[in-house]
A and B are shown apart, each in its own frame.
Chain A
Amino acid sequence: MLDIAIKNLGARKARSILCILAVLAGVFLVGTTISMNKWMYGMMTAELAKYMGKIYVQQGGSSYPPIDSSLNQETAEAILSRDDLGLDPAESAPLAFIRTERGMMPFIPAEVMVIGIPVGKETVLLGTLEAAEGLNRFDAGEPGEVAILGDKVAGKLGTSVGQTVTVNGHSVRVIGVLETSSMGSVDVAVLMPLEVAQRIFAREGQISSVLLTPNDVQKTAEIAAILRRDYPSLQIATEDDLLAEAEKVMRMPIVYMSSMGVTGLIVAMIVIMSTMFMAVEERTREFGTLRALGARRRMIIGTVLFEALALALVGGVPALGLVFLMTRVMETTSPDIAQLSQIVVLAALSAILGGAFPAWRAARVEPLEALRYE
């Protein structure tokens, strides 16, 4: 009886097309929010991955990057100089994060951010990241007012090595441009020697956080516990703590995005329901005739549900294409096969839920309606 369903959809072209467009919009919204959530989560985990096995100390504020944190540099130095903790001095350093432009949302790096890092400790932040142009290290002899630009900042400012950028009213010479990293905060960073950044932004003696790398990764939790005990006023975070905190902060935007997606699905479901409901009301006599001719109730239910499903799939599949297009344009993460299946299942589910009540109504039509309806 699927042919009856398809013929009925064809017979009501304008209404079917409008319903399909509504489903398309709803599924597009779902797909976009799923892909946005995936993108945000991916950004967050990539950003936090560099803290694997590391301990992160800050004071006040729980944002990441720790822009709101302010920590006395003397305290930082005291921690760094402790021999009992088993820290790797080459991979541990105080850092100053100074925001110049706000990011889209928490845990998504700012558009531009100054990071002050002690000269000679660049690898603490950059790891093995190479320079695309110029240097990826400051000159230990005479650093001066210089900067190494993250890939995105360089692109945004259109600046290359040898030129200057203005940071808080100071002309700063660019000595290097980094390669694209997997860490969003480095890509948007203007890296400066710590003391220069502190001076330019009048934050002498203040840093944002201390990044500690234990010699033995297995002892991370143990060291974090000692620090918590000895410095109760500081926030000591390991990778797990950061991830938990990040997830907590990300929960609201993800819930918000998800609720938009769910709203899209509900709207699609309501449109399908109203379309099918109208169709069933108009075809009461037709269903009565089919019942009089010997159609079972389950066949009528199947016909109506198939119509609803066809509307959802015809609208839903092009919507997936649009989601792909959208993610390409916005340079976010495209949905994977599992998520595509999830979207298709959700669209089909909304069709079945939307079609269920009209189908039940249609199945309740008695054969007598074939004779009664004039």
Chain B
Amino acid sequence: MNTIIETKDVYKTYGMNGISVEALRGVDLAVSAGEFVAIVGPSGSGKSSLLHLIGAMDHPTSGEVFFQGLNLSKLSDGQRTDLRAHEVGFVFQTFNLLPTMTVFENVEIALRLAGKKRAERLVRVTELLQLVGLGERFSHRPRHLSGGERQRVAIARALANHPSLLLADEPTGNLDTKIGGEILEFLRKVCDEDGQTFIMVTHDFRAASYADRVLVLRDGRVRGETRLQGKVDTQKVMSQLLEMEFLSSPQSN
């Protein structure tokens, strides 16, 4: 399988008020096309920092990040911007919809930024809103939608340009268990049906159990990984995480 993402000995250090914090300490990682990878870890484990690097939003302090064989450190700001516009889809924990725009416009913006023509945009947005079950609500503003609906709009936006890589940072973090489950099932379906490569950062092992592979990050290092067999296996994820000392006991989460 083609490798979409590869990181080689990646370090990331942040300097805050004269104190340097090592968020990542030599992360090696490879994600193949069509894979659904969940990166789990406690707060401060470096999982979000890793996602930023993979999504061409930040530079590593040392080491290299390759996107489809392209070394992201060697790209200019404009090239990285174009890469994000065409090749990467983002789903945020807080949805990040533009409040002054309608549902339709919020999805369309991704296509506009990728330079797609109006007619093409119209067809694609309509298709996506149908796909996420919001075909009737295209003219609503985000404030008139529930959390789950907002996240579905955000997913539609992230998928708009058929990205090579879909990234999500705690996509169910602001949703209740039921709605969160629906969202994850939808994302799982997109991966299964379209072969979408998907990397999700989460601290929720239930969310992680939807993935093909779960990577555990702790103190900026990959501490272990487990492969799931294409089905939601919460028990296996839990037991693996316990083994990797991510959970202190089954009750702690």
Contacts and interface: CB of A to CB of B under 8 A. Distances in A.
Interface string B49-60: 000100101100
* A1, A366, A371: residue with the most chain B Cβ atoms closer than 10 Å: A371
Contact of B94 (A290, A297, A374): A374
A286 B52 CA distance: 17
A367 B78 CA distance: 13
A36 to B, nearest CB: 41
B90 interface: yes
A286 B113 CA distance: 14
A295 B113 contact: yes
A370 B85 CA distance: 15
A293 B90 contact: yes
B57 A293 contact: no
B182 interface: no
B86 A294 contact: yes
Contacts of B15: none
B98 A294 contact: no
Contact of A291 (B81, B94, B105): B81
Contact of A4 (B55, B93, B100): B100
* A285, A289, A374: residue with the most chain B Cβ atoms closer than 10 Å: A289
A4 B78 contact: no
A296 B81 contact: yes
A371 B98 contact: no
B57 A296 contact: no
A10 interface: yes
B58 A292 contact: no
Nearest to B161: A294
B52 A293 contact: no
Given A4-B100, A292-B55, A297 B84 contact: no
Contacts of B179: none
B78 A285 contact: no
A168 to B, nearest CB: 72
B96 A289 contact: yes
Nearest to B85: A294
Contacts of A3: 105
A367 B77 contact: no
Given A293-B109, A294-B114, A368-B52, A4 B98 contact: yes
A8 interface: yes
B233 interface: no
Nearest to B102: A7
B57 A7 contact: no
A289 B169 CA distance: 13
A219 to B, nearest CB: 72
Interface string A356-374: 0000000000111011001
B81 A289 contact: no
Nearest to B96: A289
Contacts of A295: 81, 85, 113
B82 A4 contact: no
A310 to B, nearest CB: 14
Interface string A289-316: 1111111110100000000000000000
A167 to B, nearest CB: 71
A292 B100 contact: no
A293 B100 contact: no
A285 B57 contact: no
Contacts of B81: 291, 294-297
B82 A294 contact: yes
B57 A292 contact: yes
Contacts of B228: none
A58 B87 CA distance: 85
Contacts of A292: 55, 57, 84, 90, 96
Nearest to A374: B94
6 contacts: A3-B105, A289-B98, A292-B96, A293-B157, A294-B86, A371-B57
Q: Considering the complex of A and B, which 7 residue pairs feature the smallest CB-CB distances, nearest first?
A: A294-B85, A7-B100, A294-B113, A289-B96, A367-B57, A11-B100, A294-B84
Given A293-B84, A294-B85, A294-B110, 16 more contacts: A8-B100, A286-B99, A292-B55, A292-B90, A293-B85, A293-B109, A293-B113, A294-B114, A295-B113, A296-B78, A297-B77, A297-B81, A366-B58, A367-B55, A371-B93, A371-B169
Interface of B: 48, 52, 55, 57-58, 77-78, 81-82, 84-86, 90, 92-94, 96, 98-101, 105, 109-110, 112-114, 157, 169
